[in-house]
Amino acid sequence: MNAQEKIETYCHKLRLPYIRDHYKTEIDNAVKAKLTFHDFLHDILKGQILERIDNTINRSIKSAGFNSIKRLEEFDFSFQPQIDEKRIRELGNLQFIEDKQNIVFLGPPGVGKTHLATSLGVKACQEQLKVSFFTVQNIITELKIAQATNQLVKLMRKLTKVDLLIIDELGYMKLDSISATLFFQLISHRYEKGSIIITSNKQPDQWGKVFNDDVIATAILDRVFHHCHHFIITGKSYRMKNIKVHDPEKQNK
């Protein structure tokens, strides 16, 4: 084995893929920039660390189960001026997760509820926190399967342990009584133990209809809204932004 092959083998054994793939260019750069041995070693180790952090973040974004990746920087606050941008940006510092507070985004379809919830989740992943994203439909399915297979306690424990649980699209589907009870159990388990972000197209006074049970809905609302930042978004749908609606009144003017 020549020196080059040995370096590559050692890197492989030590799991240093960044160094294996970049040491030649790093050496060239070090020679050109007349780096000291110290600086060279520092730079190449830093490259390896950054790559490892990047991989961890990508893995945690993947395992969170987002429907699509959205970032706060991509959110056009000028399109939705009633959203308090400063409050959202403050939530971006993720103190709410440390403080085990909840966030609720309420509003009609297309106003950016899922986008905002996802982008806070992605930020949490970037800080190497554990995030799980579910639609209501998916989480109910998981809970029902777990119940049917005697795994409910285990699943509840898992869902209680994540740093941030995002539950998207509450209100699109009416829940039967088993689903409503399971949902209540989940909320109770996480109450004051971990943050939840909920998005809903239904205002809280409609949740009784969503859960088909006023008592359960009140118990859920009580716990969710106890330590909670909530946003009522009333603007236009971003999905319809470029769709021109024919307005005969305007045409006649």
Provide the binding-site residues for ligand ADP, judged by CB under 6 A: 70, 74-76, 79-80, 107, 109-115, 199, 238-239
- Which contiguous run of DSSP H or E holds residue 186? helix 177-190
User: Which is closer to ligand ADP, CB of 156 or CB of 166?
Assistant: 166
DSSP state of 68: S
Helix (H, G, I), strand (E, B) or coil at 249: helix
User: Which is closer to ligand ADP, CB of 40 or CB of 77?
Assistant: 77
Q: Which listed option, ligand ADP, Mg ion, none, makes contact with residue 10 (CB within 5 to 8 Å by class)? A: none
Is residue 62 a contact partner of residue 189, using CB atoms and an 8 Å limit? no
Output the smallest distance, CB 195 to ligand ADP, in A: 19
Q: What is the largest CA-CA distance in the chain?
A: 84
DSSP state of 209: H
The sign of the dihedral angle between the CA atoms of 194, 197, 200, 206 is positive
User: Which is closer to ligand ADP, CB of 70 or CB of 123?
Assistant: 70
Is residue 61 a contact partner of residue 166, using CB atoms and an 8 Å limit? no
User: Which is closer to Mg ion, CB of 155 or CB of 198?
Assistant: 198
Q: Which listed option, ligand ADP, Mg ion, none, makes contact with residue 80 (CB within 5 to 8 Å by class)? A: ligand ADP
Rounded to whole angstroms, the Cα distance separating 198 from 207 reads 12
Residues 97-156 interacting with Mg ion (rule: CB under 5 A):
114
Output the smallest distance, CB 79 to ligand ADP, in A: 4
Output the smallest distance, CB 27 to ligand ADP, in A: 43
Pick the closest to residue 126 from 45, 218, 61, 51 (CA basis).
61
User: Which is closer to ligand ADP, CB of 65 or CB of 110?
Assistant: 110
Output the smallest distance, CB 171 to ligand ADP, in A: 11
Q: Which residues bind Mg ion (CB under 5 A)?
A: 114
